[in-house]
Structure 1
């Protein structure tokens, strides 16, 4: 950790002295070099494809965690408190964020391809070891910690590479890569559901380990920088928190994770409680994934016209309202389906747009580092928030009433709006030209 380093963000500015970079993706500053490969063309789209595959396994599996959560609660560990079982998903999600802080130093030492390979081996190894696990604590270490750390490294590499290869279409590129989460869910959810029924949980993990190696291995082969690229060597630098942009994104990330996981982890179980089957609930995860994938792509593309911060404010307000009005007060399956679809559509912009904002606001050598810092706060939010929700479900809800799970999820989304409003005010006041820009 470098506590005394003075961070210079001047590289992220345009040629005119003192002019800051607009959050709109088309205004990303570039470093022109002799014989550099043109951005947004040719090999950039192969990079984009590999990035989508990279995102499919880590977060695609996390989005499908409702299948595992339902299986653990109802079949594998029926007598285990929900708060104990929740530590599996807690560590998987939190390590998927926290582990990103190591990506910058790994990239500096091993390059993009070497770092991607490390993420593949660690993540697939977590799945393989999980196949031999029979206790909750064993799954916490394997499906939780190892899988999460491996995935976090891949995720960070995946959002750094588009910033090196895209300029005009940066928002679309990052949104498309992160949309791999939804695509992964569409593939992994039915495979996981059917595999558990056909060959059991152990062989399901082995199948997922093989898929992990094949899909993320593509990035190890094709990833490379478009031009000379130097990544910050330090694991983490808290000096970035002196910049209000990083600070507010970190706080928003800390708050939003609890609300996001309330939907992904508990919604399948709540619809089973209405009288549907576990298979029906698993199928709905795929519906959620389609809307989630759509939301990620649209938010990245619309950021150019409407502004990243406006999209974040609107989306998180909508998600809070849906959780309170439809999911909490709704009592029928059709209402739940509408609620789940809308939550999928509006719950994901921060995961896309924080990366877009960071890629536009900071020099390229700091992108991985700042992404890692925001991810660290998200991981901290997961470590605190997910067990708290599990405790409330156990104690207040008596393991049958999901009311407070839904309310906590809504409060989580509403609270992030404060961060986004402050972010918009800061950007407008810091430079008059933001008053004419989509924020």
Structure 2
């Protein structure tokens, strides 16, 4: 589909880097806050709702992510038809209102409606825009620019974990949510003037470009994305409570493991940005998925020591950071730039499926098989998910070419 220029600003220029900065901030305060949900999971599970199951509590964060992705399907369509700067601003207002409203809730149902559903709705706009816009603004350093923008989610998760834990310890959970909501609203509103697309396709009435589903390569890629997303949140959600229950560390120590993982994921995102342009984004995605499998299956499954957990934290954080940052670059290179927001929107169907396939079954295994103390079955489940993604990504590459030395 032929694309039209939406602005006279050139690609690869100074303005393009301002767009990247705006995307970084938008992702830092949208998906970054979701990455920090493990702190709330730990607090709810151990302090506020100790009599409720881990499965039920995990649904607050799961609903947050699922709604963000489900609404992202429609956000991609809206980003092609309306001003993304306005949409980003609307998202900022809803995000802030959701967290501030959630601070007054004292039940899991109320938190699921505010911190979960309403926040996910608002975050879907900066999430889609921040993920899909960067690739449109660069031709020479697309992987690097996209990696920098998507590093925002890891940066947000890194400082948000520590800040949230500190605010909960000092001022309580309600004030932690109010401050977070106010900061998210103000920061995303401030960068919204630069959140603009560079290319728009010819007008279409289709919310999703279903023609992509006739491409076998895309179907395999979509299935792989399901398993990547399913694998993503498990360690972030369960490592804090695992540190307390299994390793007998403090809650602050447990939340620091999420901080470290988010920090390493930023390094992984930036490294993926540097390497994607030279080795090929799909090749890099496969390599990072191998690392994720090794970190969980060869280290976390058989060992339960502090040193091993640090190794898992570092290796998995690096691998998953590179995996999520390179997905939009693979989509842009293999399937084209013009309708990238809609392509990302269709991938969000996979994100929704991945969200359902990931944390809820892991938490159910912890409750029903591990009786909230034995994490073995849950960790095994986490390990199988990236392995499935790896098999599918290899199949996708074989559908494109049988030559293994080719940059893809």
TM-score category, normalised to shorter length? over 0.9
User: Where does residue 314 of structure 2 map in the other structure?
Assistant: 341
Choose 1 or 2 for highest CA Rg. Answer: 1
The separation in 1 between residues aligned to 2:36 and 2:133, in whole angstroms, is 26
Pick one of 260, 264, 282 that aligns with 2:255.
282
The structure 2 residue matched to 1:113, chosen from 73, 85, 97, is 85
Runs of 4+ in 1 over 6 A off after TM superposition: none
Give the whole-Å Cα distance in 2 for the aligned partners of 1:141 and 1:246. Answer: 34
Asked if 1:256 corresponds to 2:228, the answer is yes
Counterpart for residue 92 of structure 1? 64
- Partner of 1:40: helix, strand, or coil? coil
| In 2: Cα distance, 1:281 partner to 1:247 partner | 38
State the Cα distance separating 1:227 from its structure 2 match: 6.0
Q: Which residue of 2 aligns with 1:367?
A: 340
The question of 1:178 aligning with 2:150 is answered yes
CA–CA separation in structure 1 for the residues paired with 2:114 and 2:336: 35
> Which of 366, 373, 381 matches 1:408?
381
Structure 2, unaligned stretches of length 5 or more? none
Equivalent position of 1:237 in the other structure: 209
Q: Is residue 2:364 matched to residue 1:395? A: no
Structure 1 residues 301-316: aligned runs within 5 Å: 301-316=274-289
Contact 1:105 1:235 in 2 (8 A): yes
Q: Larger deviation: 41-50 or 329-338? A: 329-338
3-state DSSP of counterpart to 2:125: helix
- Following superposition of structure 1 onto structure 2, how do residues 6-25 of structure 1 map, counting pairs within 5 Å? 8=1, 11=2
Deviation of residue 177 (structure 1)? 0.8
Counterpart check, 1:164 vs 2:136: yes
Deviation at 1:435, TM superposition (A): 6.7
- The corresponding residue for 1:297 is 270
Contact preservation (8 Å) 2:362, 2:381: yes
Distance (whole Å) between structure 1 residues aligned to residue 348 and residue 400 of structure 2: 22
Select the residue among 114, 117, 122 that pairs with 1:142. 114
Distance in 2 separating the partners of 1:265 and 1:142: 19
Pair 1:215–1:364, CA change in 2 (3 A): same
Partner residue in 2 for 1:323: 296
Q: Distance in 2 between matches of 1:173 and 1:34?
A: 20
- CA distance in 2 between partners of 1:292 and 1:34 (Å): 33
Q: Aligned residue for 1:418?
A: 391
Alpha-carbon distance in structure 1 between the residues aligned to 2:6 and 2:182: 42
Contact 2:33 2:157 in 1 (8 A): yes
SS at match of 1:421: helix
User: Helix, strand or coil for the counterpart of 2:185?
Assistant: helix
Q: 1:127-138 maps to which residues of 2 (within 5 A)?
A: 127-138=99-110
1:437 aligns with 2:406: yes
1:36, CA displacement in angstroms?
A: 4.0
Question: Contact 1:231–1:366 (CA<8 Å) still a contact in 2?
Answer: no
Q: CA deviation at 1:113?
A: 0.6
Aligned to 1:78: 50
Tell me the TM-score normalized by structure 1. 0.87
Does the 8 A contact of 2:285 with 2:327 survive in 1?
Answer: no
Alpha-carbon separation, structure 2, partners of 1:220 and 1:264: 28
Q: Please give the per-residue CA displacement for 1:115-148, whole angstroms capped at 9, x wherever unaligned.
A: 1112212222221221121111111121111111
Q: Contact between 1:253 and 1:350, CA under 8 Å: does it hold in 2?
A: no
Q: CA deviation at 1:63?
A: 1.7
| Rounded Cα–Cα distance in structure 2 between residues aligned with 1:109 and 1:97 | 19
SS state at 1:401 partner: coil
Please tell me the root mean square deviation across aligned C-alpha atoms, in Å: 2.1
Contact 2:9 2:15 in 1 (8 A): no
Matched-pair contact (CA < 8 Å) for 1:182–1:289: yes
Gaps of 5+ in 1: 1-7, 13-30
Deviation at 1:315, TM superposition (A): 1.5
Provide closer, same or farther for how the CA distance between residues 89 and 112 of structure 1 changes in structure 2, counting only shifts above 3 A.
same
Distance in 2, matches of 1:38 and 1:247, equals 33
